Amino acid sequence: MIQNFRFYDRFNSLMVYSSEYESLADFFEDYEKAVKGENAPVLIQSTGLNDKNGKEIFEGDLIKGKFGDIMSVLWDDGFASFCLSKPGWAYLHYFKEAVDAEKCEVIGNIYDNKELLNEKD
């Protein structure tokens, strides 16, 4: 299975998906061409999981659990795993521990929808 990626183009406020390209090489070529410096693009990897609607879940996505709680998906280097974070949690949680991926819903991402993290349960 080919791993999917995306990058967030900060300069144009645009999410670019590898699935839109004929090859990963073409995708990474565009990633390298993106504006550098303070507007450097952010490379984002798929978790390999899908939400209840079949939408692919990526690092940086915001997901809503079955009880309406909103969590962000992030990569934890210490445990080499994708984790979930939520304001008020003392530590990170893993999929299945906090929520089953197929029971949650992707509602945005941390780049375009930061305001969703401020919503109350």
* Predicted confidence band of residue 22 (pLDDT cuts 50, 70, 90): very high
* Domain ranges (residues) in the chain: 5-118
8-state DSSP, 118: G
* Cβ-Cβ contacts under 8 Å for 25 (sequence gap 6 or more): none
Q: Are 105 and 64 in contact (CB under 8 A)?
A: yes
Which of 2.30.30.290, 3.40.50.720, 1.10.10.1100, 3.40.50.300 is the CATH number of 5-118?
A: 2.30.30.290
Strand order in the sheet with 70-76: 93-94, 81-85, 70-76, 61-64, 105-109
Give the residue among 71, 52, 56, 62 at the shortest CA–CA distance from 5.
56
pLDDT tens, residue by residue, 43-102: 999 999 999 999 999 999 999 988 889 999 999 998 899 999 998 888 899 888 888 999
For the entire predicted model, the pTM comes to 0.88
Q: How far apart are the first and last CA of the chain?
A: 36
